[in-house]
Structure 1
């Protein structure tokens, strides 16, 4: 195997892990913020809203970084 192939594979793996971590971080972060607001207010709508906002923002970030050509 050549070094060029190995570097390409490693770079591809890094891109995949960056995508996965971005897609998981958004809902986790904003869901956590929504959960804390729900604890303070006594509702459940902010957790759901936080999860949705986090998911949408994560997909948008992935699209901006990797989707446009």
Structure 2
């Protein structure tokens, strides 16, 4: 196999890991913020909102970085 093919494969793997980490980090971060707000206020709605906002923003970021041609 040539060096160019190896670099392309490594680049593809890096892109996949970047996508996966973005999709996990958004809900984790904003879910955590929602959890902290829920703990301070004594409710349960902010963690759900945080998870939803994090998921939507993660998909948007992935779309902007990799989805548009």
Shorter chain as denominator, the TM-score bin is: over 0.9
Q: How does 1:49-68 map to 2 (within 5 A)?
A: 49-68=49-68
Query: Could you tell me the TM-score, scaled by structure 2's length?
Result: 0.99
CA displacement, residues 8-52 of structure 1 (integer Å, 9 cap, x when unaligned)? 000000000000000000000000000000000000000000000
Q: Which runs of 4 or more aligned residues in structure 1 lie more than 2 Å from their structure 2 counterparts after TM superposition?
A: none
In structure 1, the residue matched to 2:3 is 3
Unaligned 5+ segments in structure 1 are none
- Match of 1:43, SS state, is coil
Unaligned 5+ segments in structure 2 are none
Matched residues, number: 69
In structure 1, the residue matched to 2:38 is 38
